[in-house]
Chains A and B, each alone.
Chain A
Amino acid sequence: MTTLDQKPARLEGRKDPWSQLLEKVGKHQDRQAYHALFEHFGPQIKYYAMANGMASHAEELVQEVFVSIWRRSCLYDWRKAAASTWIFTIARNQRIDMLRKMKRLSVEMPVETEDLWQIPGENEDEPVTSLHRLMSERRIRESLSHLPEEQITVIAKVYMENKSHQMVADELNIPLGTVKSRVRLALNKLKVILQDQNV
């Protein structure tokens, strides 16, 4: 692990304002806090839906995500994920769910989206606190600002437009190997690759 991960909790483990708001929703069904989260994350989620080709269902996705946030907020644990990470995973899962529902005619799948893609903090076996997780977002925000545009573009297409590496290569008209090496370089900076080497 990096030295950053070893910084004491009192320095790095502070709750960000969005996580505080989400906690208020979870503990007290605080509608003012819920509204503040809607104003901040609603436009992000709507853009996410538009970027990945669900423009005609964008508002529906925002609604589904927010209903899900309300229902699950009692399970939210700021020690396991920042609010924005937690909300991202809910948006991702709701998108997958909506696509599944649209594709499926009448057949039921034995395995649900949540069985395959987990929301952080909803697995009892997880260790209670991982300092590493609290660090992640701040470190990523910081590292991303130093990445070359071409690397960010590729990552944005994967996360926001939900394109496979091959689709990104086809769209940018560059070899698949180039896409992969851009992603690897970026993940290296973000310390995900460094973690590979510890395997």
Chain B
Amino acid sequence: MTRHHPDSLTLMEYSAGNLTEPHALCIRLHLDKCPHCQSRVDTLDSLGAVMMENQPKADVSESMFDSILARIDSDSDENEVMARVSVKTSPLQKLLGDDLNSLPWKRQLGDVSVLDISERFPGQHEQVVLQKLAAGGKAPIHTHKGEETTIVLQGAFADQKGVFNQWDFVVLNEQDEHKPVAVGCEDCITLSVLSAPVKLTGTFTRLLNPFIR
């Protein structure tokens, strides 16, 4: 179980570029708001650089350099890079637009609404789901199958282990039984990534944590 911040091993897999896109998104959203974890990633990126430096080298030819020069000489999109960097929108905004509350939410049980956005990540086998717990609302007590990585996008929720605020990072598994409550005056919205493909049992569609399963 990981709560509030990603652990170093996960950050290392992120820095090495080994995480899937949905998992990398959860880490990235957290890093944008957590200078402490960002500085750990900076250290890990430097570890990557030193590892690369310590490995054997493979010969490169001068003719390769010539073709690189030919590419940059014919380059017309230099300005494009600059433009793109200067008008950077957050990945969340790119993915979901400006208003999380106005997404086409599907009401599930009671206070819980969900929206499956897995198809926004083509070629991935993980399920990526947004969940909304209405302000002051409660989710039924539940546990988790497999591992679920969650980041709080809006509002906050609380369970017996603590309060999870916006941009907090949570990993839960089968040992984590909890009964989350949305705290504060906003609806609590989270983004969750399921490590394993979803199994449907009987006529029940499995609901997702951290609120409900």
Contacts and interface: CB of A to CB of B under 8 A. Distances in A.
B200 to A, nearest CB: 25
B105 to A, nearest CB: 19
A20 interface: no
A187 B8 contact: yes
B58 A47 contact: yes
Nearest to B43: A136
Contacts of A190: 43, 47
B72 interface: yes
Is chain B's interface secondary structure helix, strand, loop, or mixed overall? helix
A33 B35 CA distance: 33
A3 B38 CA distance: 20
A152 to B, nearest CB: 8
Nearest to B33: A125
Nearest to B57: A43
B185 interface: no
Contacts of A115: 28, 91, 94
Given A115-B28, A158-B18, A195-B36, A140 B68 contact: no
Contacts of A50: 58
Interface residues on B, range: 35 or more
B158 interface: no
B9 A183 contact: yes
Interface string A97-127: 0000001100101110001111010111111
B71 A195 contact: no
Given A160-B55, A183-B9, A137 B81 contact: no
Nearest to B47: A140
Contact of A42 (B39, B64, B91, B121): B64
A129 interface: no
B204 interface: no
Given A95-B17, A158-B18, A199-B36, A62 B12 contact: no
Interface centre among B15, B58, B120 (most CB of A within 10 A): B58
